[in-house]
Amino acid sequence: MAAVKKIGFILAFLTGVTSAGLVQAGELPDFAALAESAGPSVVNISTKQQRKRRPPMSRGMPQTPQGSPFDDFFRHFFGGPGAPGGHDGSIAPAKSLGSGFIISADGYLLTNHHVVDGADEIIVRLGDRREYVAELVGSDARSDIAVLKIDAEKLKPLKIGNPGDLRVGEWVAAIGSPFGFEHSVTAGIVSAKGRSLPSDSYVPFIQTDVAINPGNSGGPLFNMAGEVIGVNSQIYSGTGGFMGLSFAIPIDVAMKVSDQLQDNGYVVRGWLGVLIQDVTRNLAESFGMEQPRGALVARVLPDSPAEKAGLKVGDIVVSYDDEMITYSADLPPLVGAADVGHKARLRVLREGKEKSVKVTIEELPEEGGDAAQVKTRLKNDDRLGLVVVELSENQRDAMEIEEGGVLVKQVAPGAAAEAGLRRGDVIVSIDNQSTENLKKFHQLVRDLKADTVVPVLVQRRQGPVFLAIRVP
């Protein structure tokens, strides 16, 4: 009898657990409607680029019967005649996969910079299997955002949400092409907001535990209302796959970059001109602070907005335009998002006392290295084979150019290359007409008559030089 009672108790306990589990499962969010509605606006992106093949290593290749599976296997790794893709040192096409999403009915899309960086051809495939060769409107390495344009109309853009309304613990979902598996839906929660990564100090990332893998890059992150609140960009992984740490670029940051790329072809960011670090517990004690907070100024760059405003080494910035600075990583995104010429109000701790400092934000100068450079493509035409950007004030002063001019960032094979233009040249005039700005440059190039030869005045560090371009 006791045994029967014990079995009955176990059954009742298991039934209770099962019921509780069902009740709990019934409260989980349903992403089916979101996937059905938003899925068609998420695209698959593949790229082609030319890479040099590896030299053959057939000397160390094991001897196997010709035509056997092992023969094919070893040829793939050791090269030699008939190796897949060839390993003869020639140029082979390379492919990469990513995701993107539609932001306008007339064919503008967003994706990641690293998805399309260095691509010779970008292919966009829609949910209905239509494929387009996309134009790279502009790409920004600092924010990892790129804007593409396809020749399509009456597309369905996704709804844009407000990342500021996100709460930690809120459910979110991603749609993308992990490992090439198109329109895969994964879900999770917001783990943290405003994360700063070592290589991306200007982006306050949204951290989630949504499963993001290679191929998801550039795809949208949704809230439960079906609105895009982020662009999936990075994962933290020791294996190359998902480990529960995914990072998305807030959509308001991405859309601001997109607007600038579409309007100007490049991105302008605010600049303060300081090197900062976190305030540790010991540093806080040494500065007479009750608790660690703020951004400690370790260096003030010469001729920077910070120097002009009187900021000093040892100052601790505790607020920027009334926004509290808890960690040093909180400051760069605020400064970077500011308009050039904005008069920012800083509260700093100096020698134990709070002090108010007003700083006029200037344009962030271009740094050396590809990772910090803005890469763009001509929006309206590329008939000369040039990629150009506006000159910053620092570049203008260095080149001793009083006004006008556009900086050559890239020279593709074409008319400009044949005429002798090269990266780093500043185009001052075309056909004896001043290139006052990027917009004027595009207009002048569009108006050039085909099959004519026009003079182009170029400023180089050695001095000005005229070159003759034959217009294709």
* Tens of pLDDT, residues 84-124: 444 455 555 557 689 999 999 999 999 999 999 988 899 99
Residue 79: predicted pLDDT: 52
Q: In one letter, which amino acid is 205?
A: F
SS3 174: strand
Q: Which of 428, 450, 457 is nearest to 441 (CA)?
A: 428
Residue 415: predicted pLDDT: 87
Residue 43's domain spans which residues? Answer: 39-149
What residues are paired with 411 via a beta bridge?
Answer: 386
Instruction: State how far the Cα of 273 lies from the Cα of 399, in Å rounded to an integer.
Output: 21
**Same domain for 66 and 168:** no
Q: Which of 345, 332, 211, 337 is nearest to 269 (CA)?
A: 337
Residue 81: predicted pLDDT: 52
**Same domain for 290 and 195:** no
**Same domain for 203 and 168:** yes
Q: Is the pTM of this model over 0.95?
A: no
- Domain boundary at 149, 172, 189, which? 149
**Same domain for 182 and 98:** no
Residue 248 lies in a domain: yes
Residue 375: predicted pLDDT: 33
**Same domain for 48 and 141:** yes
**Same domain for 275 and 251:** no
Structure tokens belonging to residue 199: 């290589």
Q: What is the pLDDT of residues 292-305, one digit of tens each?
A: 999 999 889 999 99
CATH of the domain at 301: 2.30.42.10
Residue 165: predicted pLDDT: 94
Going by pLDDT thresholds of 50, 70 and 90, the confidence category of residue 369 is very low
pLDDT at 362 over 90: yes
pLDDT at 11 over 50: no
pLDDT at 207 over 90: yes
Instruction: State how far the Cα of 82 lies from the Cα of 63, in Å rounded to an integer.
Output: 15
What does the pLDDT average to over 205-231?
95
Residue 465 lies in a domain: yes
Residue 411: predicted pLDDT: 82
Residue 6 lies in a domain: no
**Same domain for 128 and 112:** yes
Residue 205 lies in a domain: yes
Residue 283 lies in a domain: yes
**Same domain for 341 and 399:** no
Residue 311: predicted pLDDT: 95
**Same domain for 145 and 43:** yes
**Helical spans, DSSP H, in 50-192:** 69-78, 113-116
Which has more confidence, 329 or 463? 329
**Same domain for 231 and 196:** yes
**Same domain for 242 and 335:** no
Contact, 146 vs 122, CB < 8 A? Answer: no
Instruction: State how far the Cα of 405 lies from the Cα of 438, in Å rounded to an integer.
Output: 8
Least confident residue range of 5-9, 105-109, 407-411: 5-9
Domain count, the chain: 4
pLDDT at 335 over 50: yes
What does the pLDDT average to over 312-341?
92
- Domain boundary at 210, 235, 263, which? 263
Of 8-22, 312-326, 392-406, where does the model show the most confidence?
A: 312-326
Residue 425 lies in a domain: yes
Going by pLDDT thresholds of 50, 70 and 90, the confidence category of residue 31 is very high
CB-count burial class (<10 Å; 0-12, 13-18, 19+) for 297: buried
**Same domain for 274 and 259:** no
Instruction: State how far the Cα of 321 lies from the Cα of 357, in Å rounded to an integer.
Output: 10
Which has more confidence, 315 or 454? 315
Of 9-18, 86-95, 161-170, 459-468, where does the model show the most confidence?
A: 161-170
**Chain mean pLDDT for the chain:** 81
Residues belonging to the active site? 114, 144, 217
CATH of the domain at 255: 2.40.10.10
What does the pLDDT average to over 373-378?
34
What does the pLDDT average to over 202-213?
92
Residue 91: predicted pLDDT: 52
What does the pLDDT average to over 157-171?
95
- Domain boundary at 86, 121, 149, which? 149
What residues are paired with 122 via a beta bridge?
Answer: 47
Residue 154 lies in a domain: no
What does the pLDDT average to over 131-139?
93
Q: What is the pLDDT of residues 39-85, one digit of tens each?
A: 999 999 999 876 655 555 444 445 545 544 444 444 444 455 544 44
- For the chain, percent of residues with pLDDT exceeding 70: 79
Residue 9 lies in a domain: no
Residue 199: predicted pLDDT: 66
What does the pLDDT average to over 118-132?
92
Residue 49: predicted pLDDT: 78
Instruction: State how far the Cα of 188 lies from the Cα of 174, in Å rounded to an integer.
Output: 9
Instruction: State how far the Cα of 448 lies from the Cα of 456, in Å rounded to an integer.
Output: 12
Residue 82: phi and psi, rounded to 5, are 85, 5
Q: Which of 403, 401, 386 is nearest to 437 (CA)?
A: 403
Sign of the CA dihedral with 71 first, then 76, 82, and 84 last: positive
Residue 285: predicted pLDDT: 87
Look at the chain and count its residues. Answer: 472
pLDDT at 397 over 50: yes
